[in-house]
Amino acid sequence: MPDDEAPDAQIDIYVTSGTPPAAEQPLVDAFTAPGVHVRVRAWPARRGTDALDWLFLVALPLHAFLGGFGGRLADDTYRRLRELTRRTPQAPSAPPFVLQDTATGIRVVLGPEADEEAYRKLRSLDLSQFRYDTLRYDAAEARWVSVPSGDDSGA
């Protein structure tokens, strides 16, 4: 299969309640490609200590996205996601995006600290060593680390 063709894939983008459709569209656009079916779904509202620390959760076949879909689709999508996660004066502490593997439950937190180097390391990371873990990029250690369950904040 040529590098720029993607196999059929289902990607579900979960948004927190009250997220305006205009906020969803850049993320939908980031994952839109031939053979990729993108659905936006509402995440049930949570209260108290179960409050969500992420803006969007994207459920997708992570291993295929990072490797099998082909470099171009993953690279283009990453660049778009990177732009969406950058802190701006208007949003100095924007919540991160979370990618969740539909096969293993692994979650990858993509915040502003996940630069090009982080992305390269993620693409070469052996995800089979993790199961139902949450990974975030530790810029100080320059590596992806597993964080305690429920800590998707990237802090």
Three-class secondary structure of residue 1 per DSSP: coil
Contacting residues for 65 by C-beta, under 8 A, at least 6 apart: 9, 73, 74, 77, 99
* Digit-coded pLDDT (tens) for 28-81: 888 887 788 899 998 876 655 455 667 788 998 888 777 755 566 667 777 777
* Digit-coded pLDDT (tens) for 5-16: 445 788 999 988
> pLDDT averaged over the chain?
77
Largest Cα span, the chain: 48
* Digit-coded pLDDT (tens) for 108-129: 998 888 888 888 898 888 888 8
Contacting residues for 27 by C-beta, under 8 A, at least 6 apart: 13, 56, 58, 81, 84, 97
Does the pLDDT at position 95 exceed 50? yes
Contact 30, 83 (CB under 8 A): no
* Mean pLDDT on 83-98: 65
Q: Of the candidates 89, 84, 99, which has an alpha carbon nearest to the alpha carbon of residue 24? A: 84
Does the pLDDT at position 22 exceed 70? yes
Whole-prediction pTM: 0.76
Does the pLDDT at position 82 exceed 50? yes
